Each structure stands twice: as C-alpha cells, then as structure tokens.
Copies of this chain bind each other. A is one copy, B any other.
C-alpha cells in the first residue's frame, strides 16, 4: 500500500552513486567522506552508518560499478539486431538471428557510448587499478564471473576456452582507450571522430580475429 509514487533510491544507493562519481573524477584519496556527504546533503556519519569504513565503501562501489557495467554489456549483447548489410533499401538477407559479429559490435558500441554517457563508470575502473589492492583485487574477482556471463550472452558457451581471456583483454583495451581520449584532450588535441571510429573498428576487428582465428577475410563474417 505505502508504495511511494516515485520510489526514491535508498540512502545507501544514493551514497554509492555519489561516491562512484566522486571517486571517478576526483580520485579516491582526494575524495573525503565529508565531500560525498555534502553533495548529498547528509552528514559523513550517515555514510559510516551504511558503510563501516571508507575502504569498504570503495569495495562496494566497485561491485556496484561492475554490476552496472555487466548489465549494460549483457543487455547490449542480447538485444543485438543483425546488421543490414548494404545500404538501407536491402531486404534482410539473413533473418533476425544476429551473428556473433553482430553481438560483438553491439557490445562494443554500447561500451563506447558509455564513454560519453557515463564516463565515470570506466574512470572508476582505471582509478581502482591505479590504487592497487584491495580495490584492484576486488575488481578482478568481481569481473571474473561477469566474463562468463557475458560469454553466455554472446551465445557462445564453453566451447571457446580462451573466450574469457579475450573478453577481459577487451575490457582492458577499452579502459586504455578511455585514458587515451582523456590524455588527448589534455594535450590540447581537438576531439577527433575519425580516431574514435578507427578505435572502434580496430577493437571489433581484433575481437573477431581472436574469436574466429580461421578467418582471413575481415569485412564480412558469413553465417557460421
């Protein structure tokens, strides 16, 4: 009955997202609990009520971020449509079942879109790896099962043992690209759409190369 009209996010969740944002763009050490609290209009002691220490908060933020990332990636993989091959007028030659390439493209695109939609998500990963343990180890263990899940979403069960490594490597690449983009703007380079497109293409291509090692023709991936 007492369901709120808009069910507002719990204090705990509000703290998590605010901390994620702050950690991502000001850094963890540079972010005080007071600062996060102030941003939410609460006191630092309320944060310490929900999270026993700043370190624990960071670990939970990592989990939170990985969760969100995993959801986005899985959704993208599952809702991938098969690409219309040439031009707009063509009828769909292969019907609605997306190929592996389609799914990979969807995932990569979703991730790249993340770079402008929610850059904190990638930034916090970088920040955590920079800080080292315990955050980085938590990140590793949180990402680990996610890679398996993503493999599932890609429609490829365990028949490719290296799949997990490949996906992890791709994640690392994306974080690297995000860093590269940031450094580019810092060095005074104008935003370069061509660079972005090229990076996207390279990533997709290298993923396909790893997953379908038999292929030499790169432009079109035939049905199975």
Query: Knowing that A172-B183, A176-B176, A176-B181 are A-B contacts, what are 19 other residue pairs whose CB atoms are under 8 Å apart, sorted by A's residue number?
Result: A125-B183, A129-B186, A136-B186, A139-B186, A140-B186, A140-B187, A168-B184, A169-B189, A172-B180, A172-B184, A173-B180, A175-B180, A175-B183, A176-B177, A176-B180, A176-B183, A179-B179, A179-B180, A202-B202
How many copies are assembled? 2
Interface of A is mostly: helix
Cβ distance A208 to chain B, nearest Cβ, rounded Å? 14
Which residues of B sit under 8 angstroms from A181, Cβ to Cβ? 172, 176
Binding site for B on A (CB under 8 A): 27, 29-30, 125-127, 129-131, 136, 139-140, 143-144, 165, 168-169, 171-173, 175-177, 179-184, 186-189, 192, 195, 198, 202, 206
Q: In the complex, A177 Cα to B126 Cα: how many Å?
A: 13
* Contact of A179 with B29 in the complex, beta carbons under 8 Å: no
A195, closest chain B residue (CB): B169
Cβ distance A25 to chain B, nearest Cβ, rounded Å? 9
A171, closest chain B residue (CB): B187
Given contacts A29-B27, A169-B189, contact A183 B140 (CB under 8 A): no
Which residues of B sit under 8 angstroms from A184, Cβ to Cβ? 168-169, 172
Which residues of B sit under 8 angstroms from A195, Cβ to Cβ? 169
Pairs A-B, 6 closest by C-beta atoms: A176-B180, A172-B183, A179-B179, A129-B186, A172-B184, A29-B29
Given contacts A179-B179, A182-B129, contact A143 B187 (CB under 8 A): yes
* Contact of A131 with B27 in the complex, beta carbons under 8 Å: yes
Given contacts A176-B176, A188-B140, contact A129 B165 (CB under 8 A): no
Q: In the complex, A171 Cα to B126 Cα: how many Å?
A: 18
Which residues of B sit under 8 angstroms from A182, Cβ to Cβ? 129-130
Q: In the complex, A166 Cα to B127 Cα: how many Å?
A: 27
Which residues of B sit under 8 angstroms from A168, Cβ to Cβ? 184, 187-189
Given contacts A27-B29, A140-B188, A188-B140, contact A129 B183 (CB under 8 A): yes
Which residues of B sit under 8 angstroms from A29, Cβ to Cβ? 27, 29-30
